[in-house]
Structures are given as structure tokens and as C-alpha cells.
Amino acid sequence: MKAEKDKVVTFHYHLTDETGTKVDSSHDRAEPLTILFGHGQIIPGLEQTMEGHEPGDKFDVSVPPEQGYGERREDFTQRVPKKYFRDADHLKPGDATVLSVQGGGYRQVVVLKVGSSVVDVDLNHPMAGKTLKFDVEITDVRDATPEEIEHGHAHGEGGHHH
Ligand SMILES: [Zn+2]
């Protein structure tokens, strides 16, 4: 079965940036990553290359920022009261953390400066502006259930539910 829209795809990956520095790897965790294909769960540049691959296939792909997490915006910063952080008392410049956003949910940010009552953060995604190199091995492809398609994500082993 091939990876395509509304299939649930399980895969291992190594991710490095353009300098070859390791960013992330599914091999560091107990299980490979499971996603619902075609629903924006992974960056477009990776999903496009994965399409049509089957279990056992290995490939690597270099994803430029415009197909990944976007270009960095230098002015994309904000001063935020400490109460909006779950871990404000332990933050220092350079830390990646999450910020509660209006309407619910969280956003990944990087700390620039910590004041007595406010924190300056960079709202760019930590991977923005980077060319990302993925080494991927597909381990499983199956049909999604109607519930998974309705929710827009994969359930069960290696997936998540919320
Ligand atoms: Zn669900």
C-alpha cells in the first residue's frame, strides 16, 4: 500500500540541519512516528516526497524553508507577561518554550530576554529559515478509519488521541 491522502503512515526519520547537526530522530524514542497522510501533520516538503512510497522504502530529502517551517522574520518578536508561561521562573535567553495563545492551544517560541515581569520572545518557529534534511524509512501504511479522517490525525499505536 502506498502513502497517499487518507492513509495512516508510520515511519522512522533522522533530521539534520544544513550544517549536518542532528535536530531530531525518531530512533531516540520507543516508536516511529505515525501520521495521517494529507492532513498537514508533517511539513509540505516531506509529505510531497513521501507520497507514493511503500513500507520498506527509504529515501532522503532536503527541504528548503519555504517547503518547511517558513522563512525567519526578524521583527517577529513580542513582549509577553510572565503569567502566560507555564515555566516563567526558569526561563533564560535561548530557551525554547511554549506560550498559551488566545483561543486556546500553545505556540512554540524562543526566549530572547527575561525581565522582572515580562519575557521577550521570538515567535518564529525554532526550525524557521532552516533547510532540513530528512532520512526516512517507511515502516507501515494502512487505511485510515473514518474517525481518524474526521479528526485529522492518526489514532492508536504510535499515534495520539485528543
Ligand atoms: Zn482523534
The predicted pLDDT at position 105 comes to: 76
The CA distances from residue 126 to 5, 38, 86, 123, in Å, are: 28, 23, 19, 8
Mean pLDDT score, 120-139: 93
Distance 71 CA to ligand 1 centre (A): 31
Q: Give the whole-angstrom CA distance, residue 153 versus residue 148.
A: 6
The predicted pLDDT at position 150 comes to: 94
pLDDT tier at 89, thresholds 50, 70, 90 = confident
Q: Which CATH number fits domain 77-122: 2.40.10, 1.10.150, 3.40.120, 2.60.120?
A: 2.40.10
Q: Which CATH number fits domain 7-69+128-151: 3.40.190.10, 2.40.100.10, 3.10.50.40, 3.40.50.300?
A: 3.10.50.40
The string of pLDDT tens digits covering residues 3-54 is: 999 999 999 999 999 899 998 899 888 789 999 999 999 999 999 999 999 9
Residue with the bigger pLDDT between 100 and 68: it is 68
Task: Give the three-state DSSP class for 4.
Answer: coil
**Residue ranges of the chain assigned to CATH 2.40.10:** 77-122
Nearest to 122 by CA among 69, 88, 70, 74: 74
**Residue ranges of the chain assigned to CATH 3.10.50.40:** 7-69+128-151
Distance 110 CA to ligand 1 centre (A): 29
Run of H or E including 150: helix 146-151
Nearest to 135 by CA among 31, 15, 52: 15
The CA distances from residue 15 to 12, 19, 34, 136, in Å, are: 10, 11, 16, 9
Mean pLDDT score, 128-147: 96
Distance 150 CA to ligand 1 centre (A): 8
Backbone angles phi, psi at 89, to 5 degrees: -70, -15
The predicted pLDDT at position 162 comes to: 53
Distance 83 CA to ligand 1 centre (A): 30
The predicted pLDDT at position 67 comes to: 96
* DSSP type of residue 145: P
